[in-house]
Amino acid sequence: MTDEPGFFCSSCGVRHDELPLAYSAPAPAFWEPDMEGRPNTGLSDELCVIDGENFFIRARIVLPVVDAEDPFEWGVWVSLSEANFRRATDLWEDPARVDEPAYFGWLSTEVPLYEPTTLNLKTRVHSQPLGVRPLVELEPTDHPLAVEQRDGIPLSRVREIAEQLLHPKG
């Protein structure tokens, strides 16, 4: 292994300058672009409300990379109850939010490359210091994403993810 950034891609046969350590979803899986402008509905960089009934917060699933210093992250959306969503948004600019107990939520992102689906996996959402997105703790199950969060992944898995996401097979 080399200390140079990047990786040789087995999908395209080219060396890429960087090995991405994060991917993210721009919106919850349940969001449709034509929802914009509907009453009690909106999507921002960090929050989403659909019809005043479904409430989502942007967060991170962090996977330790067992043979590297930096972790790998999936940027995801999690649905919260209205009460927990209101509490999280009330504390959005409050440094004391880090003292909040974790909120229960349902994973609302179809994280690519995982079978079975990641939609509706049970989670705990942990508030972080101001300016840092919440952390998602998946319920400890045998789902492959939960296992990778618990056990970590090798750098070779990070490369595999990059190859598959940079060069999707049609």
Residue 149 to residue 134: CA distance in whole angstroms:
15
Q: Is the pLDDT of residue 160 over 60?
A: yes
User: What residue ranges in 44-170 does DSSP mark as E strands?
Assistant: 47-50, 54-63, 72-80, 103-107, 122-126, 135-138
Q: What is the mean pLDDT of the chain?
A: 94
Question: Amino acid letter at 29?
Answer: A
For residue 4, the model assigns a pLDDT of 56
Q: Are 135 and 62 in contact (CB under 8 A)?
A: yes
User: Pairing state of beta strands 22-24 and 42-43?
Assistant: unpaired
Q: pTM for the complete prediction?
A: 0.93
pLDDT in tens, 57-110: 999 999 999 999 999 999 999 999 999 999 999 999 999 999 999 999 999 999
